[in-house]
């Protein structure tokens, strides 16, 4: 059964309220100094009581929070109202800015062979509230130190574009009420082309950053690593990227190809050459190289020398390539490690 969002419940129970009331309510939800409907003194006592009776203040319950040894990453296990469990991550970069990694689904149906979430299977989509409340959870925790969240990445559990409406709604809410600019939000995708084509024509899709999980510019290798891939995926991705730049040339810098580096699978200089050739086909798109993080399967991460050689080869031929810093792998909070486990 689909969970009703706070917005739906408000329209059901408070249809006689003026239009501005909903904005008051959402602004209160994003005020980290407030702890529940009873503390929202901008609303009448009657309305506060009615909201407490019918609308949840927080759709998620804290289960467990782990902190990495160096203190730059925290991972939270959160429980939904139906008992489903998800994970979300808070990360601090070298400049001291905090980013939140949110999940968009309980589990994932994409089945990427290197990903712990993919081995969970798919349970259900998260609602807009359940996505947004991951951000609010960390917002409340950071209030203790007077810090704020600067960036949000949809790179947690699930395929964001397979939950298109809820992710779009959550992104719009974060932009409007949390003060997070669209270029500080990144939505990742395995390359779900029907949804990617949809957003090209969607006037409600915000101009956020997009990160396409490429992981190999060789079709056979990509299909082995990512079962959702198909023979003509790379050609169709080129066509989509061309159309994206034609329509949204100003967002060229907002598109990234992600490439996880797995020892003996996709980390050779020959793999780098194929990726370089593919990058030239689509124009100047940044490539983000991700060292593989152990998820208890036969794969192993590339040696640091291989990562360096791979990145240098791309740069030699003019590809803008960065290497992502691994964060939180000691608490299974790094890329590909989220699996909603109670203990590590």
Instruction: Please identify which residue in the block is written with the tokens 């009331």.
Output: 21
Q: Which residues of 105-130 are buried (b: 16+ CB within 10 A; e: fewer)?
A: bbbbebebbbbbbbbbebbbbbbbbb
Task: Select which of 80, 108, 115, 335 is catalytic.
Answer: 335
E-only strand ranges, the chain: 60-67, 73-80, 85-92, 98-101, 105-107, 122-125, 149-154, 185-189, 209-213, 255-261, 286-291, 321-323
CA 24, CA 130: separation in Å to the nearest integer? 20
CA 114, CA 108: separation in Å to the nearest integer? 13
Beta carbons within 10 angstroms of residue 33's beta carbon: 8
Respond yes or no: is residue 335 known to be catalytic: yes
* Virtual torsion, Cα 34, 38, 40, 41, nearest 10 deg: -130
Q: Dihedral sign for Cα 22, 166, 151, 62, please.
A: positive
Question: What DSSP assignment string belongs to 200-222?
Answer: HT-TTS---EEEEE---SSHHHH
Task: Select which of 87, 128, 130, 159 is catalytic.
Answer: 87
- Known catalytic residues are 87, 335
């Amino acid at each position: 059964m689909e969970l009703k969002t706070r917005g739906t419940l408000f329209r059901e129970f408070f249809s006689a309220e003026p239009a501005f009331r909903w904005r008051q309510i959402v602004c209160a939800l994003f005020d980290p100094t407030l702890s529940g409907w009873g503390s929202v003194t901008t609303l009448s006592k009657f309305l506060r009581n009615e909201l407490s009776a019918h609308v949840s203040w927080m759709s998620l319950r804290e289960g467990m929070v782990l902190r990495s040894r160096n203190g730059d990453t925290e991972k939270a296990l959160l429980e939904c109202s139906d008992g489903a469990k998800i994970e979300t991550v808070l990360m601090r970069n070298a400049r001291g800015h905090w980013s939140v990694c949110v999940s968009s689904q309980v589990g994932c149906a994409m089945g990427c062979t290197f990903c712990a979430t993919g081995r969970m299977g798919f349970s259900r989509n998260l609602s807009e509230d359940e996505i947004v409340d991951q951000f609010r959870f960390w917002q409340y925790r950071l209030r203790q130190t007077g810090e704020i969240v600067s960036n949000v990445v949809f790179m947690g559990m699930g395929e964001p574009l397979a939950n298109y409406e809820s992710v779009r709604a959550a992104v719009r809410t974060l932009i409007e009420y949390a003060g997070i600019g669209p270029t500080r939000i990144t939505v990742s995708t395995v390359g779900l082309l029907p949804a990617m084509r949809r957003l090209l024509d969607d006037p409600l899709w915000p101009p956020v950053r997009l990160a396409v999980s490429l992981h190999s510019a060789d079709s056979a290798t990509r299909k082995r690593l990512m079962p959702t891939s198909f023979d003509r995926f790379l050609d169709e991705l080129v066509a989509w990227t061309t159309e994206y730049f034609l329509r949204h040339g100003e967002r060229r810098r907002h598109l990234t190809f992600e490439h996880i580096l797995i020892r003996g699978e996709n980390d050779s200089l020959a793999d780098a050459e194929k990726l370089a050739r593919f990058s030239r086909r689509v124009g100047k798109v940044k490539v983000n190289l991700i060292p593989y993080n152990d998820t208890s399967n036969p794969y192993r991460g590339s040696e640091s020398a291989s990562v360096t050689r791979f990145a240098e080869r791309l740069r030699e031929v003019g590809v803008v390539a960065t290497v992502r810093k691994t964060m939180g792998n000691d608490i299974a909070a790094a890329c590909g490690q989220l699996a909603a486990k109670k203990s590590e």
